[in-house]
Amino acid sequence: MMGKNESTNNLENNMTRNIIRTAGALAVALGAVTLLATRGGASAATMLPAPAFDDALATTKGGSMAVFSGGCFWGVQAVFQHVKGVTSAVSGYAGGEVSTANYDRVSDGNTGHAESVRVTFDTSEVTYGQLLKIFFSVAHDPTQLNFQGPDHGTQYRSEIWYTTPQQKTIAESYIAQLTKSKAFSAPIVTKLEPLSNFFPAEAYHQDYFTQHPNQPYIVYNDAPKVAALKKMMPELWRDPPVLVGMAK
């Protein structure tokens, strides 16, 4: 069991990292004249076509899972929590080992993990391809290599963790489709790997967007993503969001 001093030190380290993250967002806001030219932070989302190759909606209710990494998991989680058909969206870590799957270690950027969101969805209400469209268009910028907005490091990389061969095929097809159509002005750098593990993040990271709506980082970086989903894809919008806390 963790001793009191060690527990206190970890809590202080996590608080410090969150302060740094917020300070980074404020710095981005001050430099908005140059940074709003990119899609990191509060800049506009990109209207994308639907995947040309996708599953059809199931005729009966069924559960499936998808895992996405696209920068800070606070905003990615918030976006998917507002998607119709999503039954759960959990922030966590993918790509590394269980022994280092904690915020303090992952934030060092050398554990192999990426901040990720595990999305469970009803295949009769939303398809995997529709989730990919949301991931690429409003949840993050797939052209930013190992960073998103003010957050830098491999733990903030763009990555799709497929759970079935069909998911891999749909994701590869969509990336090729977006690349061919030059949907973005820069190359897509999103990695594609099979999911080997997923470790839920600490409780204080879950539902962070909902619990801290006025935090500067959330206001500047994440609120525009959620707003863009509602505006651009009203047919997939759900309100209220499905929260991790609702399952407890």
Q: Per-residue confidence of the chain (248 residues) as pLDDT tens digits?
A: 233 233 334 444 555 455 545 444 444 443 332 333 333 444 469 999 999 999 999 999 999 999 999 999 999 999 999 999 999 999 999 999 999 999 999 999 999 999 999 999 999 999 999 999 999 999 999 999 999 999 999 999 999 999 999 999 999 999 999 999 999 999 999 999 999 999 999 999 999 999 999 999 999 999 999 999 999 999 999 999 999 988 75
Catalytic residues: 72
Q: To which H or E segment does residue 6 belong?
A: helix 4-30
**What are the backbone angles phi and psi of residue 99, rounded to the nearest 5°?**
-65, -25
Phi-psi region of 155 (alpha: psi -120 to 50; beta: other; left: phi over 0): alpha
Residues 248 and 90 sit within 8 Å (Cβ to Cβ):
no
Per-residue confidence (pLDDT) for residue 152, from 0 to 100: 98
Tokens of 102: 């904690």
The pLDDT of residue 55: 98
Tell me what pLDDT residue 18 has. 55
Half-sphere exposure of 41 (CA within 13 A, CB side): 25
The answer to whether the CB of 36 falls within 8 A of the CB of 149 is no
Residue 85 is predicted with a pLDDT of 98
Phi and psi at residue 21, in whole multiples of 5°? -60, -45
**Which DSSP symbol is given to 51?**
P
